[in-house]
Amino acid sequence: MSEPKKRVLITGAGGRIGSSLAEQLRERYALRLHYHRTVPESPPADHVVANIANYEEIAPALAGMDAVVHLAGDPRVGAPWEDIHERNIVGARNVFEAARQAGVRKIVFASTNHVMGMYDRDRQWPIYGNQPVRPDSLYGVSKAFGEALGRYYADQYGLSVICLRIGWFLPKPHNEISRWMWLSPRDGAQVTWRAIESDLGFGVFYAISANGGRHWDITDTIERLGYRPEDDAERFLAEAGRGAG
């Protein structure tokens, strides 16, 4: 008799990454999808509508879950502080605390390359996950806060928290920057389920495809999470170029 599927909440399921994960992980897990306001006409799984900045709204969504993939928040690098504070600071704390109160033992936190963006600005490559953070924006600061929050919940409460510093999630790479920071949809799904299944107490990992020109180190992601990226922007663009010829 097979084991029951893990119950996983995806917050921000209406976004580009969330909607992709909802489709790709629906067979692997028993999903619950969180939307802020707009719900698709035919959601691919059970769903809830809530404002993560309101604890009383979001807390019930965590009930009965084994894990949460926290994607919800303001994704705009140039978003004003008021929005960043409400959605990315208060919202993250609410989701983490609601998870703890509900007995959820695994949190996968969607961090960002912008936590280390000043290294990119100064072209100080390669960049490793264990270097001091150098955010390039208040958005990056808010995600650095989320990583620190995850460290606290892992140490203080024994939750397993995996933070994924996501590159550029795109169906396909299309310019020079995407050559080194592309995360393909299928690699995005894989690194997410690897994080869900990991028995690590805490970790921060770069989440990009196996791009030949990458500037960020994914050795830890491969060795500690068991990630096996299938896509490479260099190979994709080379094959596309041959096809165009």
pLDDT digits (tens, 9 = 90+) for 179-235: 999 999 999 999 999 999 999 999 999 999 999 989 999 999 999 999 999 999 988
In a domain, 208, yes or no: yes
**Catalytically annotated residues:** 139
Q: What local confidence, expressed as pLDDT, does residue 244 receive?
A: 47
In a domain, 236, yes or no: yes
Q: What local confidence, expressed as pLDDT, does residue 42 receive?
A: 82
How many domains are contained in the chain?
A: 1
Residue 243 has pLDDT above 60, yes or no: no
Phi, psi angles (nearest 5°) of residue 156? -80, -35
In a domain, 69, yes or no: yes
Q: What local confidence, expressed as pLDDT, does residue 7 receive?
A: 98
**What's the CA gap between 87 and 100, in Å, rounded?**
19
Q: Which domain holds residue 198?
A: 7-244
Q: What local confidence, expressed as pLDDT, does residue 215 receive?
A: 94
Q: What local confidence, expressed as pLDDT, does residue 241 receive?
A: 64
Instruction: Check: CB of residue 10 under 8 Å from CB of residue 40.
Output: no
Rg of the chain over CA atoms, in angstroms?
A: 17
In a domain, 72, yes or no: yes
Query: Average pLDDT for residues 156-184, to the nearest whole number?
Result: 95
pTM of the model: 0.95
In a domain, 1, yes or no: no
Mean residue pLDDT of the chain comes to: 95
* Number of H-type helices and E-type strands within the chain: 10, 9
Give the pLDDT band of residue 107 (cuts 50, 70, 90): very high
Query: Average pLDDT for residues 132-160, to the nearest whole number?
Result: 98
Q: Where are the alpha helices (DSSP H) in 89-197?
A: 91-102, 117-121, 138-157, 176-181, 185-197
In a domain, 33, yes or no: yes
Query: Average pLDDT for residues 146-170, to the nearest whole number?
Result: 98
**What's the CA gap between 80 and 146, in Å, rounded?**
18
Residue with the larger pLDDT of the pair 121 and 240: 121
CATH number at residue 179: 3.40.50.720
A 10 A CB-CB count for 125 gives 12
Bridge-based pairing of strands 106-112 and 67-70 is parallel
Q: Determine which of 125-129, 141-145, 209-213, 238-242 has the lowest per-residue pLDDT on average.
A: 238-242
Q: What local confidence, expressed as pLDDT, does residue 172 receive?
A: 93
